[in-house]
Structure 1
Amino acid sequence: MDANKIGEWAGIVWRLLSKENREMTFEEVMKATGLDERQLAGAIGWLAREDKIIFNAPHDGKLANLSLMLNLYIG
């Protein structure tokens, strides 16, 4: 996997989550973006490393939901 491609996929996911402004399931994100599981995993890893994504894991064994993390830096 090329780092530039992963960055592009991360941008696609970020823009979707920013536009939707709500938690989304992996399936919803895959369907809305057209990314496959491997591409989505790379994008999520990229966004997680940049501290831009939140995983909300339910306790009922279902898959986690994704949403954007708002980072405010003052200074």
Structure 2
Amino acid sequence: MLNNLISADAGLIWQLLCERGMMTIDDIEKITGYRQMYVYLTLGWLSREDKIHYLEKDDNLYVELNK
């Protein structure tokens, strides 16, 4: 059951990244209203599907869609 929710919300975060481009995890939390732990779960889902990659810049962790 929780896997279905994570999958659906991963799709929403994927769409958000499509629309806005590279974002910090903090930005994703603020925009979606999801708790940090849940954002990490959805990003893990997207990582496992090889949909995103991470960049560390200026002491921030950024997420971006794979091209």
TM > 0.5 fold call: yes
Question: RMSD over aligned Cα, in angstroms?
Answer: 1.4
Count of residues in correspondence between the two structures: 67
Identity %: 34
In terms of fraction of residues, the more helix-rich structure is 2
In the TM superposition, 1:53-64 aligns within 5 A as 53-58=52-57, 62-64=59-61
Higher gyration radius (CA): 1
Q: 2:65 aligns with which of 68, 71, 74?
A: 68
The Cα of 1:39 is off from its aligned counterpart by 1.1
The Cα of 1:63 is off from its aligned counterpart by 2.8
Q: Give unpaired runs (5+ residues) of structure 1.
A: 71-75
Residue 44 in structure 1 maps to residue 38 in structure 2? no
TM-score w.r.t. the length of structure 2 is: 0.89
Structure 1 counterpart of 2:3: 3
Q: Give unpaired runs (5+ residues) of structure 2.
A: none
Structure 2 counterpart of 1:73: none
In terms of fraction of residues, the more strand-rich structure is 2
The Cα of 1:33 is off from its aligned counterpart by 1.2
TM-score w.r.t. the length of structure 1 is: 0.80
User: What are the superposed Cα offsets for residues 22-50 of structure 1, whole Å, 9 maximum, x if unpaired?
Assistant: 21111111111111111101100000000
Distance in 2, matches of 1:15 and 1:33, equals 12
